[in-house]
A and B are shown apart, each in its own frame.
Chain A
Amino acid sequence: MSSHHEHQVLNRKIFTLPFIFLAALVLIAFYILAERMIFGLGAVTNLNDGYPWGIWIVYDVVIGTGFATGGWVLAMVVYIANKGKYHPLVRPALLASLFGYSLGAFSAFIDMGRYWNVYNMVLPGQININSVMLEVGLCVTAYTMILVLEFAPAVLERFKIPRLSQLLDKWLFVIIGIGVLLPTMHQSSIGSLLISAGHKVDPLWQSLSLQPFFALITAIAMGFSIVIFEASMVTVGFKRPSETHLLKGLGRLIIYLLGVYLLVRFGDLVLRGELGRAFAGDLRGNMFLLETLLFVIPLVILLSPGRRSSGAQLLIAAVSLLLAGALYRANAFMIGWHPGGGYIYFPSAKEVLLSLGFVAIEIAGYLAIVKFLPVLPKADHA
């Protein structure tokens, strides 16, 4: 974040074949968005009165911001726990987080049935401080702005605006402090959103007062995993030196997180007497087992120091954990959701295409920006 002249602009072609393919997906998404705005939510989504939240919320916001926690966890490690050696990973992670959060916030906005009233979320006379949604909404919005400030040094460096850089540097600790606090708040609250749904969330995922804890700890684990994932992709995709020597340390941190998570998760199910549901052989029980397996695989891989030092094994562990965190959220919000009344939901093709388009924006944007701004660590540095 502060200017160390340790980053470089990747001097490569922007309009590659993958970039053009991604751009096509983005165009389709915007066409669907126009349809939603003109004809309403029902015209493009399969949302209904039993499933008010579809994949635009569960994938784009709940899971998407979980994938966007890299900037947050690295800020914790580098600036709070003072592990400076991870500094080269920070700026690329911030860029990915900025994309993930902006698009998550945008998705939440276009999913709102009455988006033109959204300003009420900031009117002191109108807000409801009992609402978990208020906390999530304000906090995600504020953090997105913080991410802009945290990423700003890359822009200021590129366009050589030293006076603004100095000002930002001076206040950097405030930006970082708030930038660590806000995701701690809203990532836990994303879990709390479900407490008020009571019996509509399957007992395998309705952990009531533990909801914020599970959401927070899995979000941190996803943050470390996404950093490992992105760094591996950059290494392979751009044929750059490996960063495994840095990543294996993150792998070690994941062990502790997963250990605590699994212990409390199963302890809670046993104490509530609901563990039997996991072995019922039905869809929900099996999805729980799959989710658990995806959490256990990275734990097994990372427990061995040998495997932890292998870039490929680290990547497998990270991908498994990302899928685990995503499935935990999908299960809690959607697959384990039973509203009663015979309601069913499966996302429409247009819902999927719009979400895919947003993923395409993230990847294409990332690919373009690292070739335009100093984001990636200098090759000799790594």
Chain B
Amino acid sequence: MKRRDFLKAAGTGALVASSATTVSARENLPVPEDAVGMLYDATLCIGCRACVVKCKEINGAPPETVEGEEHWDMAQELSADTLTIIQAFNADTGPDIPNLADGTFSFSKRQCMHCVDPGCVTVCPVSAMQKHPTTGIVSHDPDVCIGCRYCVLACPYNVPKYEYDETFGQIQKCQLCNQPGVERIDNGQITGCTEVCPTGANIFGPRKELLAEAKRRAELKEGDTYTYPLQSIDSTYRYETQVKADYQQHIFGEKEGGGTQVLVVAGTPITNLGLPELPERSYAANSETVQHTIYGGMLAPAGLLAGLLYLARRNTKGDDKDE
């Protein structure tokens, strides 16, 4: 084949390919209109772990043990058997061992953050991870999951957990108590962990209202009097108490990685509480932008294939003549 033909074919392919690269960047997904969520207030948490116990009860998960028989759940980290956990962090330095005696520690509640633009949903090849279009709850369907654990890799919070010790293990994560067989949200109830929280450190509600509440708390100073709701934002159970610490102006989850439906406020830097510093643009948006720039409408691959077929045909025909 002649050089001219090669250039012609290559040019056609490149033209089609470049027409596909005009696909605009995929922006962060918007917050669903009726997004539900939770607000965790580290200044109110007393570390009783009632939420952990209730979560295990709802999910039928066994307590974790370190050595043999123990009379108490020894869970240290989120796992396939522990979908939410209360951890104590050194409020000044983060991961170091907290000093409980001098009070420089803060509790932190960890579980699925129910991202507004979840990476696990974007990366799942078989749509086992789904974000509900109205409530925004991120659910998981083990009946279609292939167990590739790409969701584990892509989650900025290390939330989805695979059961490595099972022959037929599955991915486990918090589904905001709305998983099949539980469906507390669909039935007008609230999540187990908010229901049992004795201090209102963890409350349930529409994300919009929780965010407004978080902003109100950000204005509070140590010693102010404030009326905190228990269980949910619209609860009739409320109690008045003194604010224990100046709130940070940072509301975790308002913008992190495109926002989350579980929000966190605290009196100490929140990134010391086992939560990562994240850019406002979601990783899912980055990934989909690249993927759709290359594969948008399959135009680029089709253009490239056309060029390749043309050249391969010319050149394999030439082969025959040589003989």
A265 touches B (CB below 8 Å):
no
Neighbouring A residues of B286 by C-beta, 8 Å: 195-196, 198, 208-209
Question: In the complex the two chains form, is A196's CB within 8 Å of B284's CB?
Answer: yes
Which residue from chain B places its CB closest to the CB of A198 in the assembled complex?
B283
Chain B hits for A131, CB < 8 A: 122-125, 150
Chain A: minimal CB distance from B233 (Å): 30
A281 within 8 A of B: no
Main secondary structure of the interface of A (DSSP, over half): helix
Choice from B277, B291, B316, B322 contacting A132 with Cβ under 8 Å:
B291
Q: Which residues of A contact B6 (CB under 8 A)?
A: 81-82
**B153 at interface by CB-CB < 8 Å:** yes
Which residue of B has the minimal Cβ distance to A37? B167
Taking the complex as formed, is B319 at the interface, i.e. its CB lies under 8 A from any CB of chain A? Answer: yes
Interface-centre pick from A48, A50, A177, A193 (highest chain B CB count, 10 A): A177
Residues on B with C-beta less than 8 A from A43 are: 165
Q: B16 interface residue, CB < 8 Å from A? A: no
Which stretch, A95-103, A178-186, A229-237, A293-301, touches the partner chain B? A178-186
- A132–B291 Cα distance when bound, in Å, is 7
A52 touches B153 (CB 8 A): yes
Q: Which one of A52, A80, A195 lies within 8 Å of B290 (CB-CB)?
A: A195
Q: Is the CB of B125 within 8 A of A2?
A: no
Contact residues of A between 280 and 313, Cβ < 8 Å to B: none
Q: Kindly list chain A residues whose C-beta atoms are within 8 Å of the C-beta of B77.
A: 49, 341
A260 close to B (CB within 8 Å): no
CB of B85 to closest CB in A, whole Å: 11
Chain B residues, CB < 8 A from A106: none
Q: B311 and A117: CB pair below 8 A?
A: no
Please give me the residue from chain A that is nearest to B142 by CB atom: A114
Pick the residue among A37, A115, A132, A178 that contacts B305 (CB under 8 A).
A178
Q: Report whether B152 and A114 are in contact in the complex, using a CB–CB cutoff of 8 Å.
A: no
A252 sits at the interface (CB 8 A): no
B202 CB contacts on chain A under 8 angstroms: none
Count, chain A residues at interface, CB 8 A: 73
A159 at the interface (CB under 8 A from B): no
Kindly list chain A residues whose C-beta atoms are within 8 Å of the C-beta of B313. 173
Which of B146, B294, B311, B323 interacts with A4 by CB under 8 Å?
A: B323
A53 to B150, CA, bound (A): 8
The answer to whether B152 touches A188 (Cβ under 8 A) is: no
A128 and B153 contact, CB distance less than 8 A: no
Q: Which of A96-136 contact B (CB under 8 A)?
A: 108, 111-115, 117-118, 120-121, 123, 126-135
* Interface residue A212 (Cβ < 8 Å from any Cβ of B): yes
A196 to B313, CA, bound (A): 39
Residues of A within 8 A of B79 (CB): 49
Q: Does B72 contact A (CB under 8 A)?
A: no
Query: In whole angstroms, how far apart are the Cα atoms of A113 and B152 in the complex?
Result: 12
Interface flag for A245 (CB, 8 Å): no
Given contacts A39-B167, A188-B294, contact A79 B316 (CB under 8 A): yes
How many of B's residues come within 8 Å of A, CB to CB? 74
A111: chain B residues within 8 A (beta carbon): 148
Report yes or no: A133 in contact with B150, Cβ–Cβ below 8 A.
Answer: yes
Instruction: Considering the complex, give the chain A residue whose CB is closest to the CB of B314.
Output: A82
Q: Mark B167-191, 1 if CB is under 8 A from A, else 0.
A: 1111100000000000000000000
A181/B305 contact (C-beta < 8 A), A84-B322, A121-B126 known: yes
Q: Are A49 and B162 in contact (CB under 8 A)?
A: yes
Q: Is the CB of A82 within 8 A of B122?
A: no
Q: Is A249 an interface residue (CB 8 A)?
A: no
Residues of B within 8 A of A189 (CB): 291
Q: Which of B275-308 contact A (CB under 8 A)?
A: 276-279, 283-284, 286-295, 301, 304-305, 308
B224 to chain A, nearest CB (A): 34
Asked if B48 CB lies within 8 Å of chain A CBs, one says no
Which residues of the other chain, A, contact B309 by a CB distance below 8 angstroms?
A: 173-174, 177
| Residues of chain A lying within 8 A (CB to CB) of residue B305 | 177-178, 181
Given contacts A82-B318, A188-B294, A195-B290, contact A52 B162 (CB under 8 A): yes
**B170–A185 contact, CB under 8 A?**
no
Residues of chain B within 8 A (CB-CB) of A133 are 123-125, 148, 150
Whether the Cβ atoms of B158 and A340 lie closer than 8 Å is yes
Q: Are B164 and A137 in contact (CB under 8 A)?
A: no
B156 an interface residue at 8 Å Cβ cutoff? yes
Q: Bits for A185-204, please: 1 = Cβ < 8 Å to B, else 0.
A: 10011001101111110000
Please give the distance in Å from B291's CB to the nearest CB on chain A. 6
CB pair A113–B147 under 8 Å, yes or no, is yes
Distance in angstroms from B301 CB to nearest chain A CB is 6
Are A200 and B156 closer than 8 Å at their CB atoms?
yes
Q: Contact between B126 and A127 (Cβ–Cβ < 8 Å)?
A: yes
Shortest distance between the CB of A84 and any CB in chain B (Å):
7
Tell me if B164 and A45 are in contact (CB < 8 A): yes
State whether A41 and B164 are in contact (beta carbons under 8 Å apart), knowing that A121-B146, A135-B291 are contacts in the complex.
Answer: yes
User: Can you list, as one digit per residue, whether each of A209-225 has a CB less than 8 Å from chain B (1) or not (0)?
Assistant: 10110000000000000
Q: Does A241 contact B (CB under 8 A)?
A: no
- Smallest distance from the beta carbon of A175 to chain B beta carbons, Å? 9
* Complex contacts, A134 vs chain B, CB 8 Å: 125-126
Say if the beta carbon of A42 comes within 8 Å of chain B.
yes
Complex A-B, nearest 3 residue pairs according to Cβ-Cβ distance, in ascending order: A113-B147, A42-B164, A114-B147
Question: What would be 28 A-B contacts, judged by CB atoms less than 8 Å apart?
Answer: A37-B167, A40-B166, A41-B169, A43-B165, A79-B312, A81-B6, A82-B1, A82-B6, A111-B148, A115-B147, A126-B127, A126-B144, A128-B127, A130-B284, A131-B123, A132-B291, A133-B125, A133-B148, A174-B309, A176-B308, A177-B312, A181-B301, A185-B301, A189-B291, A193-B150, A195-B283, A198-B278, A209-B286
Given contacts A82-B1, A84-B322, A195-B287, 4 further A-B contacts (CB under 8 A): A120-B146, A130-B288, A173-B315, A192-B294
